[in-house]
């Protein structure tokens, strides 16, 4: 038995705070784990969250199940199995102030058989988790006896490095130690970006843009005939504003690329329209400018003033360049003296729900969808993130004067490939990428 194995059994007896800190540091040297933080290492109800963090970008909860004077007897293994089940139940128990994890990690100083580990993982996957990892005593020993874990082992188990281990450690980490000064500067830069974002997130949005990248030109994909809509619904209404619906479609096609090439220098007469509808609760602050316009407001095709929460707040016409492979749709505009469209703060978009609807012709060729707002990249999706389902015309907000009807196309709704109903914009756990449009 190695010294590390022996001390894992009893060195930290009854010291839950040190156990949890050691487990957190062990995960920190494992690939894929980021933003790790302890919950209540000094004791108290932690809701099955000794550790909380992200694994490959997905939220996970972690629990430390240590036994005093640990052995690998049936008694201790049964105790750990019960502890795993209890911590898993607590981690998945819904609470208003607790997010739902996508993964669960369990660390223990009891040695477990492959059969027990497999059984516990099946239990976690059966509860809907996408990721489960179990680090028993042998897994912990392997990490602590590697150059990634020597420092953790020394700090918590008081095991000094042998001459061979010191050579191994400095051989592996010499370059990393040298670069610590540079990484410190990088950390300051990341903190500065976070502060800048938090300040700018309190500003009202002047622009909200969806960019759709196709795998071929608009002409090759659909001969220029398309429709696309973004639905963005806020978690909490902003002074009455509940959601944005914006997008666009083909107005008219006059000539294809070949005809255009035959008349170089002439502007194309192919055109498209864009639209923006806002869902606003009647008699709220953002609804007041529209209250006096009763009878003059425009509503989506097929809907009447009885559904007066959907109001057209933006529309435009422009050139459609069918040889391009990019479609872009803008909602909102910069104010001049007053704001002409209802809006919200950038931070109001946190955990907003997003869906896309479009004509099938372009759905088959979408390679990427990106949403920008307030100078930041808010949501970036590639084709591996999508799943397509049959849509319906009733979901669309087509302007009254446009040509699209229920039988114009086969309609498609784009949802997340993972079994959630909508995409979501995450603004708190990571700082979105900022663009300098100048």
Annotate 403-423 with DSSP letters as a single string: ---TTSS-EEEEEESSS-SSE
Instruction: Specify whether the CB–CB gap between 24 and 51 falls below 8 A.
Output: yes
Residue 373 has pLDDT above 90, yes or no: yes
pLDDT, one tens digit per residue, over 298-343 is 778 766 555 556 888 889 999 999 999 999 999 988 887 778 889 9
Return the pLDDT at 43: 47
Strand residues in 177-322 grouped as ranges (E): 208-214, 227-238, 241-252, 271-280, 310-319
pLDDT score of 310? 82
- Cα–Cα distance measured from residue 19 to residue 65, given in angstroms and rounded to the nearest whole number: 9
pLDDT the model gives residue 300 = 82
Collect contacts of 87-96 with beta carbons under 8 A, ≥24 apart. Answer: 87/48, 87/63, 88/48, 88/123, 88/124, 88/127, 89/48, 90/47, 90/48, 90/49, 91/47, 91/48, 91/49, 91/61, 91/63, 92/48, 92/127, 92/128, 92/129, 93/47, 93/48, 95/47
Length of the chain: 438
Q: How confident is the model over 127-156, as a mean pLDDT?
A: 92
pTM: 0.58
**CA-CA distance, 109 to 21, in Å (whole number)?**
14
261 or 325: whose pLDDT is higher?
325
User: Which pLDDT does position 309 carry in this prediction?
Assistant: 65
For residues 181 and 184, what is the distance between their CA atoms, to the nearest angstrom? 5
Asked if residues 109 and 70 have their Cβ atoms less than 8 Å apart, the reply is yes
Residues of the chain above pLDDT 90, percent: 57
d(CA 210, CA 388): 18
- First-to-last alpha carbon distance for the chain, in angstroms, is 64
Listed in sequence order, the residues at least 6 apart from 299 whose beta carbon sits closer than 8 Å to its beta carbon are 305, 307, 308, 310, 311, 312, 400
**pLDDT at residue 173, rounded to an integer:** 64
On average, the pLDDT of the chain sits at 87
Backbone angles phi, psi at 313, to 5 degrees: -120, 0
Alpha-carbon torsion angle 186, 191, 195, 197, nearest 10: 60
Domains along the sequence of the chain with CATH: 3-178 (3.40.1350.10), 208-434 (no CATH)
Q: Are 241 and 344 in contact (CB under 8 A)?
A: yes
Coil/strand/helix, residue 185: helix
Where does the pLDDT of residue 198 fall: very low under 50, low under 70, confident under 90, or very high at 90 and above?
Answer: confident
Residue with tokens 């933080």: 37
Q: Residue 19 in contact with residue 12, Cβ under 8 Å?
A: yes
pLDDT over 90 (residue 242): yes
Which pLDDT does position 388 carry in this prediction? Answer: 94
* Segment 204-228 mean pLDDT: 94
pLDDT in tens, 40-98: 544 444 455 789 999 999 999 999 999 999 999 999 999 999 999 999 999 888 876 67
What local confidence, expressed as pLDDT, does residue 372 receive? 95
Only one residue has tokens 């602590």, namely 144
Q: Which residue has the higher pLDDT, 309 or 267?
A: 267
H helix and E strand count, the chain? 12, 18
Least confident of 15-24, 193-202, 218-227, 274-283: 193-202
| pLDDT tier, 438 (very low <50, low <70, confident <90, very high otherwise) | very low
In angstroms, the Cα distances linking 341 to 207, 229, 299, 309 are: 11, 18, 15, 14
Q: How confident is the model over 383-397, as a mean pLDDT?
A: 91
CA–CA dist 21, 69 (Å, integer): 19
Q: Is the CA virtual torsion 42, 48, 52, 55 positive or negative?
A: positive
Contact predicate 240/260, CB 8 Å: no
Side-chain-side CA neighbours of 232 within 13 Å: the count stands at 30
Residue among 272, 416, 282 nearest 330 (CA): 272
Q: pLDDT of 406-418, one tens digit each?
A: 898 999 999 998 8
Please tell me the predicted confidence (pLDDT) of residue 41.
45
pLDDT of residue 157: 92
266 compared with 352, residue with greater pLDDT: 352
């Amino acid at each position: 038995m190695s010294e590390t194995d022996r001390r894992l059994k009893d060195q930290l007896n009854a010291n839950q705070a040190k156990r949890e800190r050691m487990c957190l540091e062990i995960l920190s040297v494992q690939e894929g784990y980021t933003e790790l933080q302890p919950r209540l290492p000094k004791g108290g109800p932690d809701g099955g969250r000794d550790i909380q963090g992200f694994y490959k970008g997905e939220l996970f909860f972690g629990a430390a199940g240590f036994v005093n004077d640990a052995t690998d007897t049936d008694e201790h293994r049964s105790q750990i199995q019960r502890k795993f089940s209890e911590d898993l139940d607590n981690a998945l128990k819904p609470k208003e102030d607790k997010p739902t994890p996508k993964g669960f990690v369990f660390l223990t100083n009891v040695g477990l058989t492959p059969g027990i580990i497999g059984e516990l993982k099946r239990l976690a996957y059966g509860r809907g988790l996408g990721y489960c990892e179990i680090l028993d005593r042998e897994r912990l020993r392997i990490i602590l006896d590697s150059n990634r874990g020597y420092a953790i082992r020394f700090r918590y188990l008081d095991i000094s490095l042998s001459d061979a281990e010191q050579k191994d450690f400095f051989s592996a980490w010499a370059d990393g130690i040298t670069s610590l000064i540079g990484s410190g500067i990088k950390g300051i830069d990341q903190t500065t970006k976070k502060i800048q974002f938090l300040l700018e997130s309190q500003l009202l949005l002047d622009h909200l843009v969806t960019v759709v990248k196709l795998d071929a030109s608009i002409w090759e994909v659909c001969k220029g005939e398309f429709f696309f809509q973004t639905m963005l619904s806020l978690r909490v209404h902003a002074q009455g504003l509940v959601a944005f619906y914006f997008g666009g479609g083909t107005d008219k096609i006059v000539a294809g690329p070949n005809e255009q090439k035959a008349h170089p220098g002439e502007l194309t007469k192919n055109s498209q329209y864009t639209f923006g509808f806002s869902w606003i609760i009647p008699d709220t602050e953002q609804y007041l400018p529209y209250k006096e316009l009763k009878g003059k407001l425009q509503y989506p095709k097929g809907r009447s003033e009885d559904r007066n929460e959907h109001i057209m707040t933006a529309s435009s016409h422009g050139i459609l360049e069918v040889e391009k492979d990019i479609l872009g749709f803008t909602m909102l505009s910069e104010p001049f003296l007053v704001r002409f469209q209802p809006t919200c703060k950038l931070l109001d978009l946190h955990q907003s729900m997003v869906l896309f609807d479009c004509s099938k012709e372009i759905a088959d060729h979408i390679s990427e969808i990106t949403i920008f707002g307030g100078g930041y990249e808010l949501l970036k999706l590639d084709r591996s993130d999508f799943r397509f389902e049959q849509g319906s015309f009733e979901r669309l907000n087509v302007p009254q004067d446009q040509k699209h009807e229920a039988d114009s196309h086969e309609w498609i709704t784009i949802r997340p490939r993972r079994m959630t109903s909508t995409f979501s914009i995450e603004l708190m756990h990571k700082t979105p990428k900022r663009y300098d449009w100048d």
